[in-house]
């Protein structure tokens, strides 16, 4: 498991077009119909201004799948060490003392006040994030990720990414900000799920010859190697789907557009500070909109991409019988 290709300056060749896909399924070169891995991309942008480019300024967009092989997240931790600043997504409360942000699902835990006394967090006024619909939506999203993790035998991003590293920079909304943006847009998790469901159906119809059918799913459920077969089916869906692309852009949605705006504002702050080597670690569904912003808003150009293996889809090696 690892990355394909290096980042040596002499190897970087300008490319005119920004990629359209940030997740791919790689097939076995010897057996082209047999899946080998599900990969996520790291794409690099450098300033069009030659002086800035020669000074070493670069921004890497690092696409994430939130559940993956444990080795995938370990590989990413190693990659992250190379950056002066690593901007990351997490809808979480910012810690006043500079510690790691507190995730929404953990915010009911007891907190320690300045006198060392533990007490539950009590919001001064009720806000949009305290509404039952928002809480339920966040719970459903978390439950879906954890359920998929267990079903496919994968690891969860938050459990394995080292968010305590010194170069980590939170570049996302708080739960209150996220909830308020959804409210302003007239969005809810229910409308979001329905939009994704409808778009998914349309895409399935358009790609019905490529999409797994009911028989394939039934076969997966009763397979002796169910985890692997299910992983391959899910990987195919991830690699072919682009439903999240419609949630970006100028109109977009709170979950993609508004959070990307926050991330880009943090990026601007880092660049203004003189930080040169920057990575942005966000869900792969965010990268299409982010790529456009890198070109249009930051006057940068795409120069290269490489891939990290997120899911191993190979059959396990057969053990040789003992003699």
> In the chain, where are the structural domains located?
9-312
Does pTM top 0.85 for this prediction? no
Tens digit of pLDDT at every position of the chain (323 positions): 555 445 443 344 444 578 989 999 999 988 888 899 999 999 999 999 999 999 999 999 999 999 999 999 999 999 999 999 999 999 887 765 455 666 554 545 444 454 554 444 455 555 665 666 656 665 656 666 666 667 788 898 989 999 999 999 999 999 899 889 888 988 876 766 666 655 655 655 655 555 555 444 445 454 556 678 878 878 888 787 664 555 555 567 788 899 999 999 999 999 999 999 999 999 999 999 999 999 999 999 999 999 999 999 998 876 555 55
How many Cβ atoms are within 10 Å of 263's Cβ, its own excluded? 24
| First and final C-alpha spacing in the chain | 31
Asked whether the beta carbons of 77 and 158 are under 8 A apart, the reply is no
**Strand 23-28 to 31-47 pairing:** antiparallel
pLDDT score for 220: 47
pLDDT score for 269: 97
Give kind and range of the element (H or E) at residue 47: strand 31-47
Is the C-alpha dihedral spanning 76, 105, 151, 283 positive or negative? negative
Which residues in 165-204 are b (16+ Cβ under 10 Å) and which e? eebbbbbbbbbbbbbbbbbebebbbeebeeebeebeeebe
**Strand 300-312 to 92-93 pairing:** unpaired
pLDDT score for 99: 59
pLDDT score for 57: 97
d(CA 248, CA 241): 15
pLDDT score for 79: 96
Give the Å distances, CA to CA, from 50 to 55, 56, 272, 300: 8, 10, 17, 11
DSSP state letter for 209 = T
pLDDT score for 187: 80
């Amino acid at each position: 498991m690892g990355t394909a290709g290096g980042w040596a300056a002499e190897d970087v060749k300008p490319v005119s077009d920004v990629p359209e896909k940030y997740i791919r399924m790689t097939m076995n070169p010897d057996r082209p119909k047999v899946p080998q891995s599900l990969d996520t991309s790291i794409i690099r942008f450098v300033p069009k201004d030659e002086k800035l480019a020669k000074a070493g300024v670069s921004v890497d967009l690092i696409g994430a799948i939130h559940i993956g092989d444990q080795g995938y997240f370990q590989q990413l931790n190693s990659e992250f060490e190379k950056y002066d600043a690593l901007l990351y997504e997490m809808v979480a409360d910012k810690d006043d003392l500079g510690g790691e942000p507190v995730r929404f699902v953990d915010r009911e835990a007891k907190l320690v006040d300045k006198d060392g006394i533990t007490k539950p967090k009590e919001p001064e006024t009720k806000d949009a994030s305290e509404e039952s619909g928002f809480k339920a939506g966040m719970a459903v999203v978390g439950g879906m990720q954890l359920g998929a993790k267990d079903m496919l035998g994968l690891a969860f991003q938050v459990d394995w990414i080292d968010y305590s590293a010194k170069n980590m920079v939170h570049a996302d909304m708080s739960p209150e900000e996220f909830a308020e943006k959804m409210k302003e847009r007239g969005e809810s998790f229910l409308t979001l799920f329905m939009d994704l469901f409808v778009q998914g159906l349309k895409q399935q119809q358009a790609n019905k010859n490529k999409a797994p059918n009911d028989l394939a799913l039934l076969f997966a459920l009763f397979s002796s190697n169910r985890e692997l077969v299910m992983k391959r089916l899910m990987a195919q869906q991830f690699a072919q789907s682009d439903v999240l692309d419609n949630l970006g852009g100028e109109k977009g949605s709170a979950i993609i557009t508004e959070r990307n705006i926050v991330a880009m504002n943090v990026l601007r702050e880092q660049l203004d500070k003189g930080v040169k080597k920057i990575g942005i670690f966000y869900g792969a569904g965010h990268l299409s909109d982010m790529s456009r912003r890198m070109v249009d808003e930051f006057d940068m150009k795409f120069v290269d991409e490489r891939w990290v293996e997120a899911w191993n889809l190979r059959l396990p090696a057969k053990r040789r019988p003992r003699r």
